[in-house]
Amino acid sequence: ECLGRALRNTPWDCILCSDLLRTRSTLAILQSHCTQSSPVEEQFNAVVREVNFGIREGLPKGITVEEARCLWSKKHGVAVETVSDPAESEAEVLMRQRAFLGVLRSAAVSARPGSGSLPQQQEEEQQEERQHLQPVKVLCVSHGGFIRRFLSNFTDAVPVDSIPNCSITTLRIAYRKEEESSDWAPICRAMDVCVTDHLQPPALFSLGHELGDEVESSSSNDSSSLVEEYTWPIASYASTS
């Protein structure tokens, strides 16, 4: 409820949410406080699900895989050697986060006014003209483990041990088109990490900058290739195990 009140006056262009029940429930609460007059499409996607901790799910962080196997075997009455661990590897999480950045860009481009009104070829031809458009604000409701690893993998933010429930992390994400390919390379900058001011009495929402501020222009000399800029506040619901 505090998070919903804190974000109630922020106008979103696009909403991405994990398809798990706990994040869906969080988004429903946020939307119940939203004062935005125009409805925004909600996209539920497994790409921003929590990290799969496998047989260590719900156990203390210090528990090793082998210890977790023993606990699992005792709990379910099976031999230790038959217990498999479906946990995601760090490489698999990184691959999923890269996929997420692609999903994010596609969703944000679609959210721009006038998008989809032209044939695909004409849309692509007008990409360069989009560099001066207003940034797209995307609300992403995800999970602590996913957010913490994203910050570590794609930003220079100071590492954090955990992401508090219902905290707010704000990123600025820009995309550059690679010169030697047609791929879009993301550039991620952490603006605020794990903000929890809104959770403290009297639930006053305070960030180091306003969510409504425009994304600053790139200082790179190759600014002509910078055609998409997004602000990405992440509302975290589930903490890490």
Q: What is the pLDDT of residues 101-150, one digit of tens each?
A: 999 888 878 876 655 444 555 555 555 445 445 678 899 999 999 999 99
Predicted TM-score (pTM) of this structure: 0.76
Here the tokens at position 207 are 């960030």
| Percent of the chain scoring above 90 in pLDDT | 35
Question: Which amino acid type is present at position 231?
Answer: T
Tokens standing for residue 240: 């890490």
Lowest mean per-residue pLDDT among 3-17, 94-108, 195-209: 195-209
Band (pLDDT 50/70/90 cuts) for residue 233 is low
Q: Where are the beta strands (DSSP E) in the chain?
A: 14-17, 42-44, 136-143, 168-177, 184-195, 226-238
* Closest alpha carbon to 189 in 235, 229, 134, 160: 229
In this predicted structure, the answer to whether residue 224 has a pLDDT above a threshold of 60 is: no
Res 110: pLDDT = 81
Phi, psi of 138 (to 5 degrees): -120, 125
Distance CA 216, CA 210 (A): 13
| Residue in the block written with tokens 């946020």 | 30
Q: What is the mean pLDDT of the chain?
A: 78
CA distance 204 to 5: 9
